[in-house]
Amino acid sequence: MAYDMLLSPMKIGTMTVRNRTVMTAAEMSLGRTDGCPTEKLMDYYEERAKGGVGLIIPGICRVNDMGAASTFTQLSMSRDENIEPMRVFAERIHAHGAKLCLQLHHPGRQGYASSINTLPVIIPIVKRFPRVLDALFRCTPLLLGLEEKKICMSVQSPSNCELSAHGATRIHAMSRREIKHLIRDFVDAAERCQKAGVDAVELHGGHGYLIQQFLSPNTNLRTDEYGGDFEGRLRFLREIIEGIRARCGRDYPLIVRLTVDEMYAAVGKSGKGYDLETGKKIAKRLEELGVDAINVTCACYDVYNRWLEPTSYEPGWRAYLAKEIKSVVTIPVIAVNFIRSPEQAERQLEEGYQDFIGSARSFICDPHWVEKVESGHAEQIRRCIGCLHCISSFMTNAKVGKSGECALNPGVGQERAYENPPQDGNGRLVAVVGGGIAGLAAAETMARRGFRVELFERSDEPGGQVKTAAACNLKGKLLWCVEDRLASLRALGVALHFGVEATADSVLALQPWAVILATGGEPVRPRSIRGADAANVYTPPEIIHRRTVLRDQNVVVAGSGMTGLETAEILNETGNRVTVIEMADEIAPGTWFQLVDDEMERLVPAGTQFRPGMQLLAIEPDCAVAIDKKTHALVRLPADSVVLSLGVRPVHPLLDELKGKIENLVCVGDAVSSGTIADAVHSAYDACMKLR
């Protein structure tokens, strides 16, 4: 298929972008505390420029150190000292034919007190004593921990102000003086970007951050000239735009990322905030004000899954938003429409939904996405599966001073090492036993190092535990990670043996330099639970693969991880009355909240009951016996059947047989410990890179 529109150049104002792809902003915590780009950050974005992306918009860039910080390590253009480091960054992006746009941002009520309060202190120290940077990073867990306990450290407003629902920052209605000062901060930051050779700036007017707070009647309750009617709510953004135009000139490209529909109606809150009709009105006014492009987005933190969707959403589900905006403006429309394939991208361009294909996650997952399209190897694209490991790892890793990750691309943040692996294989043979995602990732890693790799999978199809996860409702896209790894392995010349069970003798007969055991795991049936082996007791794979279909029964699902919740969803479909019990005090402990919210949108309306704080003790023919951990009372829950979703134990039958006979012998993935797709891929990569 030709991708004539996708690969064609187009202008945004005076800036010509070499193709229609835009890497939209997604913060990954790769910068310095003083807001300057690190080598890691520049390597990260430079790899995407090498990979063919037309326009790169890095993660959020603050305009003010005192009250506008969102993370400790985001970019900043708040001081003149940031200009020269940013010039170096821009030159590295330009060297590969891409354009650079910085997204100017203020978090508003969604900021973090720990960042806001400490950066004004940290930055001067870092400037004077650069070596203390690592020590300051190690303070991050302490600062965030205090914030999580609502020990608010914010000094940006009086102590009697309201605490934000999105962090321990004290929030207040801005004075006119504060507003004017902040408008000047945005304008000053844009001018610094221009001086640094940055090709364009984008104002973040979406996702509930400060600019969108002014735009929304849900958060803008002001009665002065910056609130009230439509024009009043638009005034803050209008004055920023006018200020940038006056300072930087009409020729400097200016983009606005705009939430065009707050999406409250999608969660049963019609009438709250503003809808698409108002979004179209805002977009039209922005064009009149001289904005060069609209980057269409939607929703805010209150409706999180509508702007950063999990895998259950269909690609292109929100394309209609971009098309509606395009119908009322003549300037280019950029949009992130959960676009994963070049076919989908080309179709949406041809059908007039948008002018530029925006995505962060696609290019995080595969920095060479565009290059593979250009070279005729689109089948080798590593597609993002929407697992949300990027955002969950970013938020989690911030607590330990680390950056965000990608489940499928272990090279994020270490591009130099990942893209240039040591070529030390010299054709030596490596045997990989197991064709789940860990085995596939291990085979790819070793093949990229120049080893000759043979992979053995006893079933007729690869995939392992991913096949089970993908068989759950709306989760079929998870199989992409298997399909795409297979395409990569074939391109690398890996010998794939499906339907072949490896034995110790057959492996030893190969005389391999290394053996990697990726033999997975099996569901746990704890012996401590009386009756766990009874005929009315099942494990999730039996239900998920529909090998067993239960109908019109009382069913207890023990364990509320994602597998347990997904199993409950399937059981609901056949008229069962489902109760999910969980030993912890909360449902789905340790699971990223978006994934839980996504499942709850289907489980709760179906009548699923949830009983946290319940430890399963025994299973009887007509009930499950549990102990209430708070009251210590025994509870008998009606149960015709019980599903044990209590984890997976490692299975590695060849380990003992091969020990002492193979010098380089390692286990990866679930064969070590049960985990996610991200755990499997990263453990395989790390283990393989340590083999020397």
Q: Which two tokens stand for residue 630?
A: 């708070």
Question: Is the model's pLDDT at 459 over the cut of 50?
Answer: yes
Distance between CA atoms of residues 560 and 562, nearest Å:
6
Q: Describe the chain by its helix, strand, coil percentages, rounded to 5.
A: 40, 20, 45
Q: How far is CA 14 from CA 4, 289, 573, in A?
A: 22, 16, 55
Backbone angles phi, psi at 562, to 5 degrees: -60, -35
Question: Is the model's pLDDT at 126 over the cut of 80?
Answer: no
- Residue pair 229/283 in contact by the 8 Å Cβ criterion: no
The residue that leads in pLDDT, 141 or 459, is 459
Q: 564 pLDDT band (50/70/90 cuts)?
A: very high
Sole residue written with tokens 């992979």: 455
Distance between CA atoms of residues 24 and 145, nearest Å:
30
Q: Report, as an integer, the average pLDDT of 293-318.
A: 96
Q: 687 pLDDT band (50/70/90 cuts)?
A: very high
Q: 397 pLDDT band (50/70/90 cuts)?
A: confident
Percent with pLDDT over 70 in the chain: 91
Tell me the pLDDT tens digit for each residue of 90-118.
999 999 999 999 999 999 988 765 555 55
The residue that leads in pLDDT, 213 or 139, is 213
Tell me the pLDDT tens digit for each residue of 369-392.
999 999 999 999 999 999 999 999
Q: How far is CA 266 from CA 275, 307, 388, in A?
A: 11, 12, 20
Distance between CA atoms of residues 298 and 300, nearest Å:
7
- Residue pair 501/589 in contact by the 8 Å Cβ criterion: no
Q: Which two tokens stand for residue 220?
A: 């803008």
Backbone angles phi, psi at 384, to 5 degrees: -65, 135
Q: How far is CA 688 from CA 23, 421, 470, 575, in A?
A: 30, 11, 26, 47
Check residue 585 and give its pLDDT. 96
Burial of 166 (C-beta count, 10 Å sphere; 0-12/13-18/19+) = middle
Question: Is the model's pLDDT at 40 over the cut of 90?
Answer: yes
DSSP class per residue in 317-332? TTHHHHHHHHTT--S-
Question: Is the model's pLDDT at 302 over the cut of 70?
Answer: yes
Distance between CA atoms of residues 299 and 594, nearest Å:
14
Can you say whether residue 52 is alpha, beta or left, with left for phi > 0 and alpha for psi between -120 and 50 degrees? Answer: left
Question: Is the model's pLDDT at 676 over the cut of 70?
Answer: yes
Tell me the pLDDT tens digit for each residue of 403-438.
999 999 999 999 999 999 999 999 999 999 999 999
First to last CA, the chain: 42
The residue that leads in pLDDT, 143 or 286, is 286
**Residue 10: closest CA among 250, 357, 251:** 357
Q: 34 pLDDT band (50/70/90 cuts)?
A: confident
Check residue 119 and give its pLDDT. 56
> How many residues are listed for the chain in this entry?
692
Check residue 122 and give its pLDDT. 57
Question: Is the model's pLDDT at 152 over the cut of 50?
Answer: no
Check residue 115 and give its pLDDT. 57
Question: Is the model's pLDDT at 134 over the cut of 80?
Answer: no
Three-state DSSP state, 643: strand
**Residue 148: closest CA among 399, 403, 393:** 399
Three-state DSSP state, 545: coil
Check residue 150 and give its pLDDT. 52
Sole residue written with tokens 């997204």: 103
| Average predicted confidence (pLDDT) for the chain | 93
Check residue 66 and give its pLDDT. 79
Residues 6+ apart with CB under 8 A from 177: none
Distance between CA atoms of residues 29 and 56, nearest Å:
16
Check residue 67 and give its pLDDT. 78
| Catalytic residue positions, numbered | 209
Distance between CA atoms of residues 539 and 548, nearest Å:
10
Question: Is the model's pLDDT at 507 over the cut of 50?
Answer: yes
Sole residue written with tokens 């996860």: 469
Check residue 155 and give its pLDDT. 46
Q: 577 pLDDT band (50/70/90 cuts)?
A: very high
Sole residue written with tokens 């499950």: 624
Question: Is the model's pLDDT at 321 over the cut of 60?
Answer: yes
Three-state DSSP state, 45: helix
Q: Report, as an integer, the average pLDDT of 440-452.
A: 98
Check residue 111 and give its pLDDT. 76
